[in-house]
């Protein structure tokens, strides 16, 4: 391990195969935590190359618990996190709205490492019980159009780096890898990135697959469509810049998106939005993100997708899906 770390500190680049071997060593449960911290620190000081991201992804997918949910027509809605914006759980709410609009969703998530409440925190607080059992997840997906894959259950080997990541409290290389390692391998993905420099890398990586995808980046640094300003959507056919007004919405202030100071407060915001008690600004952000996910999955016009998302949220169907999936968990 010391040899590999020495190479990293000499600014050497690992090819795909060597990167895979390196991450397998980092994920060894007997590895020295200081070695893990050193590895994470290096990739906070420099960006991983395409080959390194591919190798790290290979290692994580080799070591995960694979789960076949026949999910080629399903979508994952996920961000890299680490944008420092402390927003409410926009992607998780959007996942429920998209499912209510008739699109199958297999969402991969985890507890928050750089935020108050990650997707797993709020779902757990609301009573959803995580499972790695294929039959349970498949039943949820078939009956509600959605299931949630809790990363620690399906990537148990990552427990070796959990404490170090939590203590660092920063975005790390694992934030970048998270969107690439959904064990069910859904065929579609809406992926949010907080740094503009990540767009090209994810575009290259996703172009190597047969997935339909959209990469979202708000120009003021959110890893989702924030409606606080312009945003980019990148797919196989290139990149398009949007302003909120382009999709019939108005700009909102950043403070409208802030989460609570605890998981309890985040859960209240989450339920309020689903029950029609959220603010207009909160609802619009969820609808916007949901609409672009629906478009990625269904290839309809964005106007039609916004209409579908609005109906799914305002009809209460998204809330009913949450209730049902909790019952089935």
Tell me the backbone φ, ψ of residue 217, rounded to 5 degrees.
-145, 120
| Residue with tokens 């019952």, as numbered in its chain | 327
Q: Give the count of beta carbons closer than 10 Å to the beta carbon of residue 61.
A: 17
Q: How far apart are the first and last CA of the chain?
A: 41
Instruction: Give the global pTM.
Output: 0.94
> CA 110, CA 174: separation in Å to the nearest integer?
11
Cα 156 to Cα 123, 124, 153, 160, distances in angstroms: 19, 18, 6, 8
| CA 129 – CA 205 distance, rounded (Å) | 32
| CATH of the domain spanning 75-328, picked from 3.90.1010.10, 3.40.1030.10, 3.30.450.20, 1.10.10.10 | 3.40.1030.10
In whole angstroms, how large is the CA radius of gyration of the chain? Answer: 19
Most confident of 108-112, 195-199, 282-286: 282-286
Going by C-beta distance under 8 Å and a sequence separation of 6 or more, which residues neighbour residue 160?
26, 27, 28, 29, 31, 36
Per-residue pLDDT of 238-252, as tens digits, reads: 999 999 999 999 999
pLDDT at 71 (0 to 100): 94
Mean pLDDT, rounded, for 199-204: 95
From 142, 53, 146, 134, select the one nearest 95 (Cα to Cα).
146
pLDDT band at 114; cut points 50, 70, 90? low
pLDDT of 50 above 70: yes
The pLDDT of residue 113: 65
- CA dist., res. 290 & res. 226, Å (int): 12
- How far, rounded to the nearest angstrom, does the alpha carbon of residue 288 sit from its chain's CA centroid? 16
Find out whether 152 and 159 touch, Cβ atoms under 8 Å.
yes
Domain boundaries, the chain: 2-63, 75-328
Strands (E), 50-187: 75-79, 105-109, 146-150
Predicted local distance difference test score (pLDDT) of residue 29: 79
8 Å CB contact between 294 and 190:
no
Tell me, rounded to whole angstroms, the distance of Cα 238 from its chain centroid. Answer: 21
Taking the mean position of all CA atoms in its chain, how far away is CA 173? 14
Residue 326: band (very low, low, confident or very high) from pLDDT cuts 50, 70, 90? very high
Cα of 301 vs its chain's centroid, Å? 24
Give SS3 for 101: coil
pLDDT of residue 5: 87
Phi first, then psi: what are they for 38, rounded to 5°?
-65, -45
- Indicate the SS3 state at residue 58: helix
Quote the tokens at residue 245: 């007004």
Q: Is the pLDDT of residue 117 over 90?
A: no
Q: What would the pLDDT profile of 124-142 be if each residue is shown by its tens digit?
A: 999 999 999 999 999 999 9
Give the burial class of 223: count Cβ atoms within 10 A of its Cβ; 0-12 exposed, 13-18 middle, 19 or more buried: buried
Instruction: State pLDDT tens for residues 13-40.
Output: 999 999 999 999 998 877 888 999 999 9
Cβ pair 297, 99 in contact under 8 A: no
| CB atoms closer than 10 angstroms to residue 253 | 10
Per residue in 302-312, pLDDT (tens digit) is 999 999 999 99
Non-local CB neighbours of 20 within 8 Å, separated by 6+ positions: 55, 56, 58, 59, 62
Q: How many CA atoms lie within 13 A of 205 on its CB side?
A: 26
Kind and range of the H or E element at 242? strand 238-242
Average pLDDT in the chain: 93
Contact 288, 313 (CB under 8 A): no
Q: Name the residue among 145, 144, 154, 70 with its Cα closest to residue 120.
A: 154
Hey, what CATH class is 2-63 in?
A: mainly alpha
């Amino acid at each position: 391990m010391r040899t590999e770390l020495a190479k990293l500190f000499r600014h050497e680049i690992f090819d795909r195969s060597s990167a895979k071997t390196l991450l397998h060593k980092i994920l060894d449960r007997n590895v020295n935590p200081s070695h893990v911290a050193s590895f994470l620190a290096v990739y906070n000081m420099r960006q991983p190359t395409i080959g390194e991201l591919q190798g790290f992804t290979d290692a994580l997918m080799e070591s995960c618990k694979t789960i076949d949910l026949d999910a080629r027509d399903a979508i994952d809605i996920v961000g890299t996190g680490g944008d420092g914006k402390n927003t409410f759980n926009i992607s998780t709410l959007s996942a429920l709205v998209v499912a209510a609009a008739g699109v199958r969703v297999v969402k991969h998530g985890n507890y928050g490492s750089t935020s108050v409440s990650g997707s797993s925190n709020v779902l757990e607080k609301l009573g959803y019980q995580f499972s790695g059992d294929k039959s349970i997840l498949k039943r949820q997906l078939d009956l509600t159009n959605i299931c949630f894959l809790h990363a620690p259950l399906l990537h148990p080997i990552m427990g070796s780096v959990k404490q170090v990541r939590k203590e660092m409290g920063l975005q790390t290389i694992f934030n970048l890898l998270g969107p690439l390692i959904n064990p069910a391998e859904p065929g579609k993905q809406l992926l949010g990135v907080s740094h503009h420099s990540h767009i090209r890398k994810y575009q290259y990586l996703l172009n190597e697959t047969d997935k339909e995808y959209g990469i979202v980046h708000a120009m003021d640094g959110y890893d989702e469509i924030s409606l606080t300003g312009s945003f980019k959507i990148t797919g196989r056919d290139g990149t398009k810049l949007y302003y909120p007004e382009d999709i019939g919405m108005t700009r909102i202030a950043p403070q409208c998106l802030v989460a609570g100071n605890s998981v309890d407060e985040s859960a209240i915001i989450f339920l309020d939005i689903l029950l029609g008690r959220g603010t207009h600004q909160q609802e619009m952000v969820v609808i916007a993100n949901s609409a672009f996910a629906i478009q990625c999955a269904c290839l309809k016009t964005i106007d039609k997708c916004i209409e579908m998302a609005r109906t799914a949220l305002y009809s209460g169907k998204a809330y009913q899906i949450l209730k049902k999936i909790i019952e089935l968990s």
